[in-house]
Structure 1
Amino acid sequence: MKYFVFIFSFFTAISATQAQEIAFSKIDKSPLDVVIHRDNNNQAIARVIYSRPAKRDRTIFGELVKYGEVWRTGANEATEIDFFYDVTINGNLVKAGAYSIYTIPGEDKWTFILNSQTNQWGTKHDPEKDVLKVTMDSMPSPQTIEEFSISFVEDPDGLILFMGWDDTLVNLPIQVAQL
Protein backbone atom coordinates (compact mmCIF):
# COMPACT_ATOMS: atom_id res chain seq x y z
CA MET A 1 0.00 0.00 0.00
CA LYS A 2 2.86 2.38 0.85
CA TYR A 3 4.33 1.66 -2.58
CA PHE A 4 1.03 2.63 -4.27
CA VAL A 5 0.79 5.89 -2.28
CA PHE A 6 4.39 6.73 -3.23
CA ILE A 7 3.77 6.10 -6.96
CA PHE A 8 0.51 8.05 -6.89
CA SER A 9 2.18 11.00 -5.12
CA PHE A 10 5.12 10.92 -7.54
CA PHE A 11 2.90 11.10 -10.67
CA THR A 12 0.68 13.75 -9.07
CA ALA A 13 3.75 15.93 -8.40
CA ILE A 14 5.00 15.49 -11.98
CA SER A 15 1.57 16.36 -13.41
CA ALA A 16 1.34 19.49 -11.26
CA THR A 17 4.80 20.60 -12.40
CA GLN A 18 3.91 20.05 -16.06
CA ALA A 19 0.67 21.99 -15.65
CA GLN A 20 2.62 24.94 -14.27
CA GLU A 21 4.83 24.89 -17.37
CA ILE A 22 1.93 25.38 -19.78
CA ALA A 23 2.53 28.71 -21.47
CA PHE A 24 -0.81 30.35 -22.12
CA SER A 25 1.05 33.23 -23.76
CA LYS A 26 1.66 30.85 -26.66
CA ILE A 27 -2.05 30.49 -27.39
CA ASP A 28 -2.65 30.98 -31.11
CA LYS A 29 -2.65 34.64 -32.06
CA SER A 30 -4.92 33.78 -35.02
CA PRO A 31 -7.73 31.77 -33.40
CA LEU A 32 -9.83 29.28 -35.29
CA ASP A 33 -13.41 30.23 -36.19
CA VAL A 34 -16.33 28.59 -37.99
CA VAL A 35 -19.21 30.16 -39.88
CA ILE A 36 -22.21 28.14 -41.12
CA HIS A 37 -25.03 29.12 -43.46
CA ARG A 38 -28.30 27.22 -42.96
CA ASP A 39 -31.53 27.17 -44.93
CA ASN A 40 -35.03 27.84 -43.52
CA ASN A 41 -35.23 24.23 -42.30
CA ASN A 42 -31.96 24.63 -40.36
CA GLN A 43 -30.08 22.40 -42.81
CA ALA A 44 -26.43 23.36 -43.34
CA ILE A 45 -25.72 24.67 -46.85
CA ALA A 46 -22.09 25.74 -46.41
CA ARG A 47 -19.50 25.94 -43.64
CA VAL A 48 -16.15 27.74 -43.52
CA ILE A 49 -13.40 26.85 -41.04
CA TYR A 50 -10.62 29.42 -40.88
CA SER A 51 -8.12 31.22 -38.66
CA ARG A 52 -8.53 34.93 -37.88
CA PRO A 53 -5.31 36.95 -37.93
CA ALA A 54 -5.44 40.44 -36.40
CA LYS A 55 -4.45 43.75 -37.95
CA ARG A 56 -2.36 44.87 -34.93
CA ASP A 57 -1.51 48.32 -36.38
CA ARG A 58 -0.21 46.82 -39.64
CA THR A 59 -1.09 47.77 -43.21
CA ILE A 60 -2.62 44.55 -44.49
CA PHE A 61 -3.36 44.56 -48.21
CA GLY A 62 -0.51 45.60 -50.46
CA GLU A 63 2.05 45.13 -47.66
CA LEU A 64 1.54 42.18 -45.29
CA VAL A 65 -0.65 40.44 -47.89
CA LYS A 66 0.87 41.27 -51.27
CA TYR A 67 -1.30 42.27 -54.21
CA GLY A 68 -1.16 39.78 -57.08
CA GLU A 69 0.10 36.86 -54.97
CA VAL A 70 -1.78 33.79 -53.74
CA TRP A 71 -2.88 34.26 -50.13
CA ARG A 72 -4.04 31.48 -47.81
CA THR A 73 -7.09 33.65 -46.94
CA GLY A 74 -6.61 33.67 -43.22
CA ALA A 75 -3.79 32.19 -41.16
CA ASN A 76 -2.34 28.83 -40.21
CA GLU A 77 -3.97 25.87 -41.99
CA ALA A 78 -5.65 26.52 -45.33
CA THR A 79 -9.15 27.95 -44.98
CA GLU A 80 -11.68 25.20 -45.70
CA ILE A 81 -15.16 25.50 -47.14
CA ASP A 82 -17.63 22.63 -47.12
CA PHE A 83 -20.63 22.68 -49.44
CA PHE A 84 -23.35 20.28 -48.30
CA TYR A 85 -25.19 20.67 -51.62
CA ASP A 86 -24.02 21.30 -55.15
CA VAL A 87 -23.65 25.05 -55.74
CA THR A 88 -23.08 27.37 -58.64
CA ILE A 89 -20.44 30.08 -58.44
CA ASN A 90 -20.27 32.57 -61.29
CA GLY A 91 -22.01 30.06 -63.58
CA ASN A 92 -19.70 27.19 -62.59
CA LEU A 93 -21.12 24.07 -60.95
CA VAL A 94 -19.26 23.06 -57.79
CA LYS A 95 -20.06 19.62 -56.41
CA ALA A 96 -20.88 19.17 -52.74
CA GLY A 97 -17.70 18.50 -50.79
CA ALA A 98 -14.75 20.04 -48.99
CA TYR A 99 -12.37 22.51 -50.61
CA SER A 100 -9.62 24.88 -49.57
CA ILE A 101 -10.03 28.60 -50.28
CA TYR A 102 -7.18 30.70 -51.60
CA THR A 103 -7.40 34.22 -52.94
CA ILE A 104 -5.26 36.58 -54.96
CA PRO A 105 -5.96 40.08 -53.63
CA GLY A 106 -5.84 43.05 -55.95
CA GLU A 107 -6.57 46.73 -55.41
CA ASP A 108 -9.96 46.60 -57.19
CA LYS A 109 -10.62 42.91 -57.84
CA TRP A 110 -9.64 39.66 -56.20
CA THR A 111 -9.39 36.13 -57.56
CA PHE A 112 -11.25 33.49 -55.53
CA ILE A 113 -9.74 29.99 -55.81
CA LEU A 114 -11.30 26.68 -54.77
CA ASN A 115 -8.74 23.93 -54.39
CA SER A 116 -9.52 20.22 -53.99
CA GLN A 117 -6.70 19.62 -51.49
CA THR A 118 -7.74 20.06 -47.86
CA ASN A 119 -6.06 19.64 -44.47
CA GLN A 120 -2.78 21.25 -45.50
CA TRP A 121 -0.79 24.18 -44.16
CA GLY A 122 -2.08 27.37 -45.75
CA THR A 123 1.08 28.25 -47.65
CA LYS A 124 1.17 24.86 -49.42
CA HIS A 125 -1.13 25.84 -52.34
CA ASP A 126 -0.91 23.37 -55.23
CA PRO A 127 -2.32 25.15 -58.32
CA GLU A 128 -2.69 21.80 -60.11
CA LYS A 129 -5.54 21.03 -57.67
CA ASP A 130 -7.48 24.25 -58.33
CA VAL A 131 -11.04 23.43 -59.38
CA LEU A 132 -12.38 26.99 -59.72
CA LYS A 133 -11.02 30.50 -60.19
CA VAL A 134 -13.41 33.46 -60.37
CA THR A 135 -13.15 37.21 -59.92
CA MET A 136 -14.63 39.08 -56.95
CA ASP A 137 -15.10 42.81 -56.58
CA SER A 138 -13.20 44.53 -53.79
CA MET A 139 -14.68 47.50 -51.95
CA PRO A 140 -13.66 49.70 -49.04
CA SER A 141 -15.02 48.71 -45.65
CA PRO A 142 -17.09 51.37 -43.88
CA GLN A 143 -14.96 50.73 -40.78
CA THR A 144 -11.65 49.07 -39.97
CA ILE A 145 -11.98 45.32 -39.45
CA GLU A 146 -9.43 44.35 -36.79
CA GLU A 147 -9.61 40.54 -37.22
CA PHE A 148 -9.96 38.84 -40.60
CA SER A 149 -13.61 37.78 -40.83
CA ILE A 150 -15.77 35.60 -43.04
CA SER A 151 -19.56 35.64 -43.03
CA PHE A 152 -22.54 34.47 -45.06
CA VAL A 153 -25.51 36.68 -45.89
CA GLU A 154 -28.87 35.41 -47.16
CA ASP A 155 -29.61 36.40 -50.77
CA PRO A 156 -32.80 35.78 -52.81
CA ASP A 157 -30.73 33.68 -55.23
CA GLY A 158 -28.79 31.79 -52.53
CA LEU A 159 -26.14 33.26 -50.29
CA ILE A 160 -23.24 35.68 -50.41
CA LEU A 161 -19.87 34.87 -48.92
CA PHE A 162 -18.26 38.01 -47.44
CA MET A 163 -14.62 38.32 -46.42
CA GLY A 164 -13.18 41.40 -44.77
CA TRP A 165 -10.06 42.66 -43.07
CA ASP A 166 -8.49 46.02 -42.40
CA ASP A 167 -10.20 48.43 -44.79
CA THR A 168 -11.29 45.92 -47.45
CA LEU A 169 -14.41 43.82 -48.15
CA VAL A 170 -14.94 41.27 -50.91
CA ASN A 171 -18.00 39.18 -51.68
CA LEU A 172 -18.93 36.16 -53.72
CA PRO A 173 -22.53 35.24 -54.68
CA ILE A 174 -23.26 31.51 -54.41
CA GLN A 175 -26.41 29.80 -55.70
CA VAL A 176 -27.59 26.48 -54.33
CA ALA A 177 -28.00 24.12 -57.28
CA GLN A 178 -30.32 21.71 -55.44
CA LEU A 179 -32.22 21.46 -52.18
Structure 2
Amino acid sequence: MVKKILIGLGIVLLAIVGFLVYSNLFPKSPRKVSEFSHQGLNIKVTYSQPFKKGRLIFGEEKDKALQPYGKYWRLGANATTDITFSKDVSFAGKPIKSGTYRMYAVPGPTSFQVSLNSEAGVFFGAREPDYTKDVIKVDVPVRESPTETEQFIINFASDSTGVNMDFVWDKIIVRVPITLQ
Protein backbone atom coordinates (compact mmCIF):
# COMPACT_ATOMS: atom_id res chain seq x y z
CA MET A 1 0.00 0.00 0.00
CA VAL A 2 2.80 2.43 0.93
CA LYS A 3 4.56 1.56 -2.32
CA LYS A 4 1.46 2.53 -4.36
CA ILE A 5 1.18 5.86 -2.51
CA LEU A 6 4.86 6.63 -3.13
CA ILE A 7 4.53 5.75 -6.82
CA GLY A 8 1.44 7.99 -7.07
CA LEU A 9 3.23 10.87 -5.35
CA GLY A 10 6.24 10.35 -7.63
CA ILE A 11 4.03 10.56 -10.73
CA VAL A 12 2.35 13.75 -9.46
CA LEU A 13 5.73 15.29 -8.62
CA LEU A 14 7.10 14.35 -12.04
CA ALA A 15 4.06 15.93 -13.74
CA ILE A 16 4.50 19.17 -11.76
CA VAL A 17 8.22 19.36 -12.56
CA GLY A 18 7.49 18.62 -16.23
CA PHE A 19 4.91 21.41 -16.36
CA LEU A 20 7.28 23.91 -14.73
CA VAL A 21 10.12 23.02 -17.10
CA TYR A 22 7.81 23.25 -20.13
CA SER A 23 6.39 26.65 -19.07
CA ASN A 24 9.89 28.04 -18.58
CA LEU A 25 11.17 26.71 -21.91
CA PHE A 26 8.07 27.72 -23.91
CA PRO A 27 6.35 30.66 -22.17
CA LYS A 28 3.17 32.10 -23.67
CA SER A 29 4.69 35.58 -23.37
CA PRO A 30 8.47 35.17 -23.72
CA ARG A 31 10.92 37.53 -21.99
CA LYS A 32 12.68 39.95 -24.29
CA VAL A 33 15.50 42.47 -23.93
CA SER A 34 15.60 45.51 -26.22
CA GLU A 35 18.78 47.57 -26.16
CA PHE A 36 20.06 50.82 -27.62
CA SER A 37 23.62 52.13 -27.54
CA HIS A 38 24.94 55.41 -29.01
CA GLN A 39 27.47 58.04 -27.88
CA GLY A 40 27.97 56.37 -24.52
CA LEU A 41 24.25 56.15 -23.79
CA ASN A 42 23.03 52.62 -23.16
CA ILE A 43 19.33 51.89 -22.70
CA LYS A 44 18.06 48.43 -21.81
CA VAL A 45 14.40 47.41 -21.54
CA THR A 46 13.44 43.99 -20.14
CA TYR A 47 9.82 42.96 -20.70
CA SER A 48 7.54 40.08 -21.73
CA GLN A 49 5.96 39.87 -25.19
CA PRO A 50 2.28 38.90 -25.21
CA PHE A 51 0.50 37.92 -28.43
CA LYS A 52 -2.75 39.35 -29.79
CA LYS A 53 -4.31 35.95 -30.61
CA GLY A 54 -7.42 37.48 -32.19
CA ARG A 55 -8.31 39.50 -29.08
CA LEU A 56 -9.31 43.15 -28.79
CA ILE A 57 -6.17 44.65 -27.24
CA PHE A 58 -6.94 48.30 -26.44
CA GLY A 59 -10.45 49.56 -25.88
CA GLU A 60 -13.27 49.93 -23.43
CA GLU A 61 -13.68 47.54 -20.51
CA LYS A 62 -17.31 46.92 -21.51
CA ASP A 63 -16.03 45.62 -24.87
CA LYS A 64 -13.79 43.13 -23.02
CA ALA A 65 -10.53 44.71 -24.19
CA LEU A 66 -7.45 42.89 -22.92
CA GLN A 67 -6.04 46.25 -21.86
CA PRO A 68 -8.87 48.68 -21.06
CA TYR A 69 -8.40 52.42 -21.44
CA GLY A 70 -7.61 54.20 -18.19
CA LYS A 71 -6.23 51.10 -16.43
CA TYR A 72 -2.69 50.21 -15.31
CA TRP A 73 -0.68 48.18 -17.84
CA ARG A 74 2.77 46.76 -17.15
CA LEU A 75 3.81 47.24 -20.81
CA GLY A 76 4.00 43.53 -21.48
CA ALA A 77 2.97 40.47 -19.51
CA ASN A 78 4.05 38.38 -16.52
CA ALA A 79 6.85 40.34 -14.78
CA THR A 80 7.20 44.11 -14.68
CA THR A 81 8.88 46.02 -17.49
CA ASP A 82 12.18 47.52 -16.36
CA ILE A 83 14.23 50.19 -18.15
CA THR A 84 17.85 51.11 -17.43
CA PHE A 85 19.63 54.30 -18.51
CA SER A 86 23.43 54.50 -18.30
CA LYS A 87 23.34 58.33 -18.32
CA ASP A 88 20.96 61.11 -17.36
CA VAL A 89 18.39 61.61 -20.14
CA SER A 90 15.35 63.60 -21.11
CA PHE A 91 12.38 61.20 -21.27
CA ALA A 92 9.66 62.77 -23.43
CA GLY A 93 10.98 66.18 -22.41
CA LYS A 94 11.36 65.49 -18.68
CA PRO A 95 14.73 64.93 -16.96
CA ILE A 96 15.48 61.49 -15.53
CA LYS A 97 18.63 60.36 -13.70
CA SER A 98 20.62 57.32 -14.79
CA GLY A 99 19.46 54.10 -13.16
CA THR A 100 16.88 51.34 -13.41
CA TYR A 101 13.15 52.03 -13.23
CA ARG A 102 9.88 50.13 -13.44
CA MET A 103 8.07 51.35 -16.55
CA TYR A 104 4.31 51.11 -16.97
CA ALA A 105 1.53 52.90 -18.83
CA VAL A 106 -2.10 53.88 -18.63
CA PRO A 107 -3.43 53.62 -22.20
CA GLY A 108 -6.05 55.91 -23.66
CA PRO A 109 -7.61 56.16 -27.11
CA THR A 110 -5.42 59.12 -28.17
CA SER A 111 -2.49 59.05 -25.72
CA PHE A 112 -0.68 56.85 -23.22
CA GLN A 113 0.49 58.10 -19.85
CA VAL A 114 3.90 56.44 -19.45
CA SER A 115 5.44 56.38 -15.97
CA LEU A 116 8.83 55.53 -14.55
CA ASN A 117 8.77 54.24 -10.99
CA SER A 118 11.68 53.63 -8.59
CA GLU A 119 10.21 50.22 -7.66
CA ALA A 120 12.21 48.19 -10.24
CA GLY A 121 12.83 44.45 -10.32
CA VAL A 122 9.41 43.34 -9.09
CA PHE A 123 8.74 39.89 -10.54
CA PHE A 124 4.96 39.75 -10.54
CA GLY A 125 3.87 42.69 -12.68
CA ALA A 126 0.10 42.27 -12.35
CA ARG A 127 0.34 44.04 -9.00
CA GLU A 128 0.06 47.77 -9.47
CA PRO A 129 3.08 49.81 -8.42
CA ASP A 130 3.37 51.97 -5.34
CA TYR A 131 2.34 55.19 -7.10
CA THR A 132 4.12 57.30 -4.45
CA LYS A 133 7.38 55.97 -5.96
CA ASP A 134 6.63 57.36 -9.43
CA VAL A 135 9.58 59.43 -10.61
CA ILE A 136 7.92 60.90 -13.73
CA LYS A 137 4.72 60.65 -15.76
CA VAL A 138 4.56 61.75 -19.40
CA ASP A 139 1.74 61.81 -21.91
CA VAL A 140 2.65 60.59 -25.39
CA PRO A 141 0.35 60.42 -28.42
CA VAL A 142 -0.96 57.21 -29.98
CA ARG A 143 -0.28 56.82 -33.69
CA GLU A 144 -2.00 54.38 -36.00
CA SER A 145 0.28 51.66 -37.33
CA PRO A 146 0.23 50.93 -41.07
CA THR A 147 0.26 47.20 -40.24
CA GLU A 148 -1.16 45.05 -37.48
CA THR A 149 1.45 43.66 -35.07
CA GLU A 150 0.66 40.25 -33.53
CA GLN A 151 3.29 40.27 -30.77
CA PHE A 152 3.98 43.28 -28.53
CA ILE A 153 7.42 44.81 -29.11
CA ILE A 154 9.47 47.64 -27.68
CA ASN A 155 12.15 48.87 -30.07
CA PHE A 156 14.45 51.82 -30.60
CA ALA A 157 15.16 54.04 -33.61
CA SER A 158 17.71 56.84 -33.53
CA ASP A 159 17.09 60.20 -35.14
CA SER A 160 18.95 63.53 -35.33
CA THR A 161 17.95 64.57 -31.79
CA GLY A 162 18.35 61.28 -29.92
CA VAL A 163 16.39 58.05 -29.91
CA ASN A 164 12.74 57.11 -30.05
CA MET A 165 11.46 54.20 -28.00
CA ASP A 166 8.40 52.69 -29.67
CA PHE A 167 5.72 50.48 -28.13
CA VAL A 168 4.14 48.59 -31.02
CA TRP A 169 1.16 46.25 -30.75
CA ASP A 170 -2.05 45.57 -32.61
CA LYS A 171 -2.75 48.66 -34.72
CA ILE A 172 -0.92 51.30 -32.68
CA ILE A 173 2.51 52.81 -32.13
CA VAL A 174 3.36 54.89 -29.07
CA ARG A 175 6.64 56.80 -29.40
CA VAL A 176 8.64 58.14 -26.45
CA PRO A 177 11.49 60.50 -27.44
CA ILE A 178 14.69 60.16 -25.40
CA THR A 179 17.66 62.54 -25.55
CA LEU A 180 20.91 62.92 -23.62
CA GLN A 181 20.93 65.70 -21.04
TM-score band, normalised by shorter chain: 0.7 to 0.9
Corresponding residue of 1:101: 103
CA contact (8 A) 1:35 1:47 kept: yes
Corresponding residue of 2:7: none
Distance 2:159 2:180 in 1: 11
Q: Is 2:54 the counterpart of 1:57?
A: yes
Q: Secondary structure at the match of 2:58?
A: coil
Corresponding residue of 2:172: 168
Distance 1:90 1:57 in 2: 32
Cα-Cα RMSD: 2.0
Distance 2:76 2:162 in 1: 24
User: Following superposition of structure 1 onto structure 2, how do residues 1-179 of structure 1 map, counting pairs within 5 Å?
Assistant: 22-23=18-19, 26=23, 27-39=26-38, 43=40, 45-62=42-59, 63-120=65-122, 121-124=124-127, 125-177=129-181
How far the C-alpha of 1:58 sits from its partner, in A, is: 0.5
CA contact (8 A) 1:36 1:44 kept: no
Distance 1:160 1:92 in 2: 14
Distance 1:34 1:168 in 2: 21
Answer with 83-92 or 167-176: which moved more: 83-92
Consecutive unaligned residues of structure 1, counting only runs of 5 or more, are: 1-13
TM-score with structure 2 length normalisation? 0.82
How far the C-alpha of 1:90 sits from its partner, in A, is: 3.2
Describe the superposition over 1:74-110 as per-residue Cα deviations: whole angstroms up to 9, x where unpaired: 0011100000111012332100000011101010111
Q: Secondary structure at the match of 2:46?
A: strand
TM-score with structure 1 length normalisation? 0.83
How far the C-alpha of 1:18 sits from its partner, in A, is: 5.1
State the percentage of identical aligned residues: 36
Distance 2:93 2:66 in 1: 32
Q: Which has the larger radius of gyration?
A: 1
Answer with 88-97 or 99-108: which moved more: 88-97
How far the C-alpha of 1:32 sits from its partner, in A, is: 0.3
Q: Secondary structure at the match of 2:132?
A: helix
The number of residues matched between the two structures is 160
Q: Secondary structure at the match of 1:136?
A: strand
Distance 2:126 2:177 in 1: 26
Distance 1:156 1:78 in 2: 31
Q: Secondary structure at the match of 2:69?
A: coil
